[in-house]
């Protein structure tokens, strides 16, 4: 496998690019903004919501997280998806599985196959799944596993999924965090809570206003090569969700070659995506799961294709950090507004 210029540059310059959220808070007389935080899905979560009844919903939200894990986590051997991946050709699935499957199929079609959950065997082969490896796969091994990749190899009818081959392996981890954010958000709305922010591992769904009565603020950090962190831009979420994907933080070092192997895989080739994109943030007034999926697909396809597809969705906003001739550049869609 050839190392692209972007990875060469990353090896010689240590820098941190990070999309983070900032929540401006203050007291409101009519309602208290409650906070919940903890660990879930291998990362952290933060929740803020305004509730006139001051309900403590922590236990109920923990139960929701467990239910999602039991359905979609490839890291839990007894989950529904893990059992399907153990060789079943047909299986009954729950509503969480159905919701994610149908959304994934839609994004798969809209991105010309660059978002493909059947890339799971390749994720494992490259050491980014629950199965750890010591070295990267050979070209022959990649070619052998590619026969199981393709979302057209699995169908859903009513509540039953059917695979064309028992070795087809599903991995929804590129959409599961966003979906978990949505499940919590919809749960809060069922409790008549209209002002809230839910964040899991950097993926965010915001509705209503923050405690100051403003839209929820999101900060974008400036990429600094010296490892320091400084604020570059601030935008806001108006009943929107944001998801970020990037290869600058999550990668594996091949012990034999010392090369960085990016976690975003190209489902067209089975190899880590050789992309000029370093970071992708997608904002839209849709589900967090949807922007989560698009962020992953955009990373895999590269700047030009990602910009083209994003332009087809008038309400979608994107912020790209990419390399052009070894020079770091940024692109913001015309409808993405920043605060002064």
pLDDT band at 231 (very low <50, low <70, confident <90, very high): low
Does residue 119 sit in helix, strand or coil? Answer: helix
Q: Provide the pLDDT confidence category of residue 146 given band limits of 50, 70 and 90.
A: very high
Work out the end-to-end distance of the chain between its first and last CA atoms, rounded to an integer number of angstroms: 44
Report the pLDDT averaged over residues 143-152.
Answer: 95
- In the structure, what pLDDT confidence band is assigned to residue 274 with cuts at 50, 70 and 90? confident
Instruction: Give me the residue label for tokens 């070619």.
Output: 143
The CB density around residue 107, as the number of other CB atoms within 10 Å, is 23
pLDDT grade, residue 26 (50/70/90)?
very low
- Whole-number CA gyration radius for the chain: 20
Residue pair 126/252 in contact by the 8 Å Cβ criterion: yes
Please write the tens of the pLDDT for every residue from 153-201. 999 999 999 999 999 999 999 999 999 999 999 999 999 999 999 999 9
pTM, to two decimals: 0.85
Cβ atoms < 10 Å from Cβ of 338 = 12
Beta bridge partners of 309: none
Catalogue all structural domains in the chain, each as residue range(s) with its CATH number: 5-332 (3.10.520.10)
pLDDT for the residue numbered 232: 62
pLDDT in tens, 46-59: 999 999 888 889 99
* pLDDT tier, 234 (very low <50, low <70, confident <90, very high otherwise): confident
Torsional class of 63: left (φ above 0), alpha (ψ -120 to 50), beta (otherwise): alpha
């Amino acid at each position: 496998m050839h190392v692209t210029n972007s990875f060469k540059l990353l090896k010689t310059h240590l820098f941190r690019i990070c999309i983070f959220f900032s929540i401006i808070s203050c007291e409101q007389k009519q309602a208290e903004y409650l906070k919940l935080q903890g660990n879930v899905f291998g990362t952290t979560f933060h929740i803020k919501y305004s509730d006139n009844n001051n309900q403590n919903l922590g236990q109920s939200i923990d139960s929701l997280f467990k239910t999602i894990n039991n359905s979609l986590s490839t890291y839990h051997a007894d989950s529904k998806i893990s059992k399907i991946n153990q060789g079943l050709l047909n299986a009954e699935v729950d509503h969480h599985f159905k919701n994610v499957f149908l959304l994934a199929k839609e994004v798969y079609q809209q991105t010309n196959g660059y978002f493909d959950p059947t890339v799971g065997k390749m994720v494992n082969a490259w050491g980014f799944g629950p199965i750890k490896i010591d070295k990267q796969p050979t070209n022959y091994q990649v070619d052998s596993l590619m026969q199981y990749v393709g979302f057209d190899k699995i169908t859903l009818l009513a509540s039953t999924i059917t695979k064309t081959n028992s070795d087809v392996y599903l991995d929804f981890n590129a959409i599961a965090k966003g979906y978990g954010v949505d499940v919590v958000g919809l749960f809060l709305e069922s409790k008549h809570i209209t002002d809230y922010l839910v964040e899991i591992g950097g993926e965010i769904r915001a509705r209503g206003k923050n405690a100051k009565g403003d839209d929820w603020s999101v900060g974008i950090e400036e990429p600094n090569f010296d490892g320091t962190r400084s604020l570059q831009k601030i935008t806001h979420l108006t009943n929107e969700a944001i998801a970020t994907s990037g290869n600058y933080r999550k990668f594996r070092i091949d012990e034999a070659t010392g090369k960085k192997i990016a976690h975003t895989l190209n489902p067209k080739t089975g190899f880590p995506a050789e992309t000029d994109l370093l970071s992708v943030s997608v904002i839209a007034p849709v589900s967090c799961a949807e922007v989560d999926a698009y962020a992953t697909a955009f990373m895999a396809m590269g700047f030009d294709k990602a910009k083209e597809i994003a332009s087809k969705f008038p309400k979608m906003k994107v912020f790209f950090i990419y390399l052009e001739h070894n020079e770091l550049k940024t692109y913001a869609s015309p409808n993405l507004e920043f605060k002064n």
